[in-house]
Amino acid sequence: ETGVTQTPRHLVMGMTNKKSLKCEQHLGHNAMYWYKQSAKKPLELMFVYNFKEQTENNSVPSRFSPECPNSSHLFLHLHTLQPEDSALYLCASSQGRFNQPQHFGDGTRLSIL
């Protein structure tokens, strides 16, 4: 059982659709992260939030829009995605940003038609 829950687990969408990914952590952590994992590439950090404030945007295209309403919830809003955006999107959380292990959710497998 994971303390970080992601929904949906799988998502298929067209390039003109708008959808959102949701992440919820039950660990009492204050930092949350979005990562992208593509085939045969290292995990790639997208966004970092610390106490609801965004502290890192790793040059992510604007078609990905994060939202963090509180320390337990994180969303990734998607619109006008491209086929190369098909990947596993992972949410993680940690107690703090520094010297703390990050715990991952099960991910959302996203396929863009």
Partner 1 sequence: QKEVEQNSGPLSVPEGAIASLNCTYSDRGSQSFFWYRQYSGKSPELIMFIYSNGDKEDGRFTAQLNKASQYVSLLIRDSQPSDSATYLCAVQGSGNTGKLIFGQGTTLQVKP
The answer to whether 10 contacts partner 1 (rule: CB under 8 A) is no
| Residues in binding contact with partner 1, number by CB under 8 A | 28
Cβ(85)–Cβ(19) below 8 Å: no
Print burial letters for 38-50: b (CB count within 10 Å at least 16), e (below 16): eeeeeeebbbbbb
* 19/29 Cα distance (integer angstroms): 26
The answer to whether 46 contacts partner 1 (rule: CB under 8 A) is no
* 58/46 Cα distance (integer angstroms): 5
Q: Which is nearer to partner 1, 1 or 16 (CB)?
A: 1
Among 12, 15, 43, 113, binds partner 1 (CB under 8 A): 43
The answer to whether 90 contacts partner 1 (rule: CB under 8 A) is yes
Binding residues for partner 1, per CB under 8 A? 2, 31, 33, 40-45, 48, 50, 55-56, 58, 90, 94, 96-107
